[in-house]
Structure formats: structure tokens, C-alpha cells
Amino acid sequence: MSPRARSDSAAADEPRAYHHGDLRPALIRAALTLLRTEGPEALTLRGVARAAGVSQTAPYRHFADRRELVAAVAEDGFRRMREAMLEAARSAEGPAGFRQVAFAYVRFAHAHPAEYRVMFGPEVARHADFPDLRAESHGILGFVAEGIGALQTAGLVGPGDPAIMAVALWSMLHGLVMLSLDGQTAGVAPSLEALVEETTRLMMFGMARRPAP
């Protein structure tokens, strides 16, 4: 083997170099790949280091332990979910927009089931010590509450505290997502879309009997 070939081979075996500002995003991307392909048990600092092609000690520059890594993955998930919901809100107004936001939430969960389970998993359920994660997750509730408030102003939704109503809607959608991800809704509903439609209808109009037209 020539000296040049030996040099190229050695370089390929060396940990990849990242600028300090690029390392954290690279580690999160590697963590997402591991999560999607191998499951949450693969989310270790050593595993992420190998997947990112960096030294075993490199992740410790940004994450003190596994929980901090998991929190970063959850924060990234909430950010992408909020972006999907905002985009859906722009596509329509009034009740139609409200319905599209609900669909965006459920579609994100089904497109990224591993991330969704981490986002709402026990490791980061209490996230007071992760202010950025807390801000992202609460930002979604704030966005939904603002939408409910706007519908109230337009006379399309009845009175109530928009913040509490947003949590109630979230509870309904989260339950729908978890049941459907676990296959519990198969055979008891015509489709996932039908369930989302009914959930948003119940939220908008309740179960009270409506007067005949």
C-alpha cells in the first residue's frame, strides 16, 4: 500500500471533526437516526458518538448524561411538530383551520412514532430543569389556546378558558394517537381520519343534541 493510501485509510478511521457550533446538531441527527432504526434503548452517549463519527467523549461537551440527550431529541420533536401545526393553520381559517391543526398533530405522531413516544415519555415528563424543552412543548399549547380564543371571538366556540380547553383538546388527541399507534383503534373505527374528524367535532360542538334545521 502506498503512503498516500495508508494516509487516506487512517484518516477514514479517525473521528470526524466538527466545529463546536456544529457538533450538537450532528449529535441530535445521529440520535434521531438511532431512535428510528434501533429504538429508544439505543439512545446512549456512546452510541450517538459512534453514529456521528466522533470520539466517545465528544457528546459530553453538550450532554451531561443520557437524559439530557433524550431531552434534546424531545425538544427537536416539539419544534418540528409546532412547525407542522403552524403550516396547517395557514392553510385554512376558522373551524377548517382548527381541524387541519388537529390533523397535523396526529399525522406528525404517525410519521414519527419513535420521537413522539420520547417526547411524551417518562424520562422528560418532568422537564422543569430543561427550560428550552419546556418552552417548545408549552409553545404548542399556547398556539392552540390562541386559536381557540380567536374562534371564541368569532363566535364559533363557546365560552371557557382557552388554556384549559387547549389542554383538554391535547388530552383527546394524545389519547387518540397512543391508541392508534398501539393498534387499539383498528377494527373499531373506519379510519384514523374519521377519528380525528370526530374528535375535533366533539371539541367544537360537544355531544349535546343539536336543534333540527
Residue-level pLDDT at 167? 94
* Same-domain status, 104 and 72: yes
32 and 72 both lie in a single domain: no
DSSP H or E segment with residue 197: helix 192-205
So what's the pLDDT on residue 213? 59
Q: Are residues 100 and 160 in the same domain?
A: yes
DSSP state of 17: P
The one-letter amino acid code at 102 reads A
Q: CATH number for the domain including 161?
A: 1.10.357.10
CA-based max dimension of the chain: 87
**pLDDT bucket at 157, cuts 50 / 70 / 90:** confident
Residues 29-66 have pLDDT tens digits of 999 999 999 999 999 999 999 999 999 999 999 999 99
60 residue type, one letter = Y
Terminal Cα-to-Cα distance of the chain (whole angstroms): 86
pLDDT in tens, 120-129: 999 998 888 9
Q: What is the count of structural domains for the chain?
A: 2
Same domain, 90 and 33: no
pLDDT at position 80: 97
Range of the domain at 94: 65-207
Statement to judge: residues 195 and 174 lie in one domain: yes
Mean pLDDT score across all residues of the chain: 87
pLDDT in tens, 8-36: 433 333 455 555 558 999 999 999 999 99
24 conformational bin, left if phi > 0, alpha if psi -120 to 50, beta if neither: alpha
Q: Are 21 and 85 within one domain?
A: no
